Amino acid sequence: MELIGDIFGTVADAVVWFVNRAMEIFYNIEVCFSRNINWYILLKTYWFLFLIEFPRYYLLETGIGLWYKFTTFRRRKLNARARMVLFSENPKVSILIPGKNEGAHIYPLLRSLQEQTYRNFEIIVVDDGSDDATPYICRDLERNGLIDIYLRLNERGGKASAANYGFRFATGKYIVHLDADSSLDRDAIEKVLLPFYLDTRVKAVGGCVKVRNYEETICTSLQALEYLKTIMVGRIVLNELGIYHIISGAFGAFDRETIENLGMWDVGPGLDGDITQKVRKGGYKVTFANEAVCMTSVPSSWYRLFRQRLRWSRSLVRFRLRKHLDILLPTRNWSFLNWLSNMENIFFDCVCNYMWFFYILSMIFLHTDRLLEILVVGWLIRFFFSVLAFGIIMLVTERPREEFKLIKYLPLSTFYTGYFLRIARLVGYTSEFFFFNSFRDKWNPRKTSVWAQADEN
């Protein structure tokens, strides 16, 4: 009994300490900000939030999101006309699905393809040297007519290599590239093809990727929120501005002849950002189909997510600052929109990330005595911004009732996007700038990474 009493006493002391500390923090916030607040102090303290993040990621996206919603009727009218032309022509589509050890995921994807409203397509699955049961599963699916062509590479060559191998067997006018661990809405193929019939200059279309396993962990739920803001809303904004610059490898459509003329996918680390750059540099138009929805599985652990974001961050440095640096230079094929597309990505994702790092350091060293209060108020400001962003998400999404459930994660999303993702990007950019780590990433086979590095040098 004495031991139990001691435990309860310790817990009670801890609760009292926590409550007192919380009250002290809020009192300090009131003293530091409520009683002495003015716009100059607020702007001086939170200049990064108000001058960098708010104009780009909230004000701009709110304005264009509202414009996108208000032009829905006009867009539907144009899409209806394009749909008539699409179904009248009924072009053949080749669906490429490259991947390794994807046997467990392939059937749900094939089942979603069988339910598509657009039916004139062939399915080509390329097995990139799987060492599990994938060959047996895919051959069985091929025998049962769910796969038109199953190809196997006995030695792994990487996703781009597998996609190029499957491309040689494709006979469709358009190529749709899919990740094996994804699935599509019933009208996704139809809607990802419509932009080709809205504008003949369009030669590549990106689909809207959303998180399928969002209920699995807090990690996946926060990624679901992130995808809605950065992929759905973010790419609507970039598309409306004419600077959409990356077609997700999970779901994208391409004009077959154009991709063939551009030399298909370059082998090496990454392929989605690279092929998009090649299409834009070729003088063609790239667009985003928000209503063509692909559901994909995302990492469920923080460690796997961190490694994924390192890889994505390295790709920005590799493609935009090294391989395709000529887009930023006044060359013969210079295009203002291509320049702006890359500069927007480089400045806000890379340069501003280093600015944020020095901003945080200045907060730590210049305001040590009230750092906690500053962080709490900063969180409140970010939370207000995130509520505004969530409102735009609800405005433009096609499934608001389902995605509204994510609202409970908004208080945590400020830590996720404001700290976790920024730290991951900092590590990724720095490691690529100084150590070229993208060429040592095990996600891509060593031999193709060496080949790609030698080719770029």
pLDDT for position 27: 61
Given the structure tokens 């030399």, which residue do they identify? 263
Other residues' Cβ atoms within 10 Å of the Cβ of residue 52: 17
- Alpha carbon of 350 to those of 149, 223, 237, 245, 429: distances in Å? 41, 20, 19, 15, 7
Q: Are strands 149-153 and 202-211 parallel, antiparallel or unpaired?
A: unpaired
The Cα–Cα gap between 200 and 202 comes to 5
Q: How far is CA 160 from CA 26, 204, 397, in A?
A: 54, 17, 31
Q: What is the pLDDT of residue 43?
A: 85
Please list, in sequence order, all residues whose beta carbon lies within 8 angstroms of the beta carbon of residue 172, skipping any fewer than 6 positions away: 91, 92, 93, 94, 121, 122, 256
| CB 29, CB 42: distance < 8 Å | no
Asked whether residue 152 carries a pLDDT value surpassing 90, the answer given is yes
pLDDT in tens, 355-400: 999 999 998 888 877 888 888 888 999 999 999 999 999 999 999 9
Q: Residues 6 or more apart from 184 whose CB is under 8 A from it? A: 109, 112, 113, 116, 178, 251, 293, 294, 295
Q: How confident is the model at residue 156 (pLDDT cuts 50, 70, 90)?
A: confident
Quick one: pLDDT band at residue 33, thresholds 50, 70, 90?
low
| Separation of CA 411 from chain center | 21
Instruction: Say which DSSP state 367 is in.
Output: S
The torsion defined by the Cα of 326, 269, 456 and 351, in degrees rounded to 10, comes to 40
Phi first, then psi: give them for residue 296, nearest 5 degrees. Answer: -130, 160
Rounded to two decimals, the pTM is 0.89
The kind and range of the H/E element at 373 are helix 371-396
Mean pLDDT of 271-290: 91
pLDDT of residue 35: 53
pLDDT per position as a tens digit, 253-275: 999 999 999 999 988 665 788 89
